[in-house]
A and B are shown apart, each in its own frame.
Chain A
Amino acid sequence: GENVEQHPSTLSVQEGDSAVIKCTYSDSASNYFPWYKQELGKGPQLIIDIRSNVGEKKDQRIAVTLNKTAKHFSLHITETQPEDSAVYFCAASQEGNQFYFGTGTSLTVIP
């Protein structure tokens, strides 16, 4: 089965700086890679996703890059704000099938 590794487990950045979270996956058949943000006491919320036919996707301050050859994908948050503080999960799946989640990254943005 698929195995998703996520690093780092915790990340602290100063407000305004960038944050980068990296994930690797093992199954070359995986073709859908979402990122979720989970705030305390809430369920995960999809913030951005990328499919295997695209190398990069951007949505305002958030971007995701995918390297299919190396089987890794990354989340980039620029100009971080305190409200970006949360736990972030990456996931990998084959379209329409179950997700395999990374272990999560606790991001703290220091004002």
Chain B
Amino acid sequence: SAVISQKPSRDICQRGTSLTIQCQVDSQVTMMFWYRQQPGQSLTLIATANQGSEATYESGFVIDKFPISRPNLTFSTLTVSNMSPEDSSIYLCSVGVPYYGYTFGSGTRLTVV
């Protein structure tokens, strides 16, 4: 299965600022996903990032707040913009190969103060 390197592992940010999270995969993958996991909660899909096209956002998430880049088949970034304390969560990237499983990165624990 793919190995994912996600950075940073954690950060404490001031409200109103932005943080960019990086996800590097050790093999080329078509589909990459970004999830949010609020404290003590399950995982919620933010968007699907496919190389060469705009990301597809789930209901409740918008591009202005969570812009995503996918410049190639092994890398993606998620930016959390104009942060507020409500954005404090764990953010996870995931890669999927249909029928062969999906792998998660170790997550970025974001605290907004």
* Interface residues of A, Cβ cutoff 8 Å to B: 32, 34, 36, 41-46, 49, 89, 95-96, 98-99, 101-104
Contacts and interface: CB of A to CB of B under 8 A. Distances in A.
B104 A45 contact: yes
Contacts of A46: 1, 101-103
B92 A95 contact: no
Nearest to B106: A43
A43 B107 contact: yes
B45 A99 contact: yes
- Residues of A contacting B: mostly: loop
B99 A43 contact: no
B33 interface: yes
A98 B42 contact: no
Contact of B92 (A41, A44, A49, A102): A44
B37 to A, nearest CB: 9
A101 B107 contact: no
Given A49-B101, A95-B99, A44 B33 contact: no
The 10 residue pairs across chains A and B that have the minimum distance between CB atoms: A96-B98, A43-B104, A43-B106, A101-B42, A43-B107, A101-B43, A103-B42, A44-B104, A98-B45, A43-B105
Contacts, number: 46
A4 B6 CA distance: 27
A89 B41 CA distance: 10
A103 B41 contact: yes
B48 interface: yes
B104 A96 contact: no
A98 B48 contact: yes
A42 B49 CA distance: 22
A96 B104 CA distance: 15
Given A43-B105, A95-B98, A99-B45, 17 more contacts: A34-B101, A34-B102, A36-B104, A41-B109, A43-B4, A43-B92, A43-B104, A43-B106, A45-B104, A46-B102, A89-B43, A98-B48, A98-B58, A99-B43, A101-B43, A103-B42, A104-B42
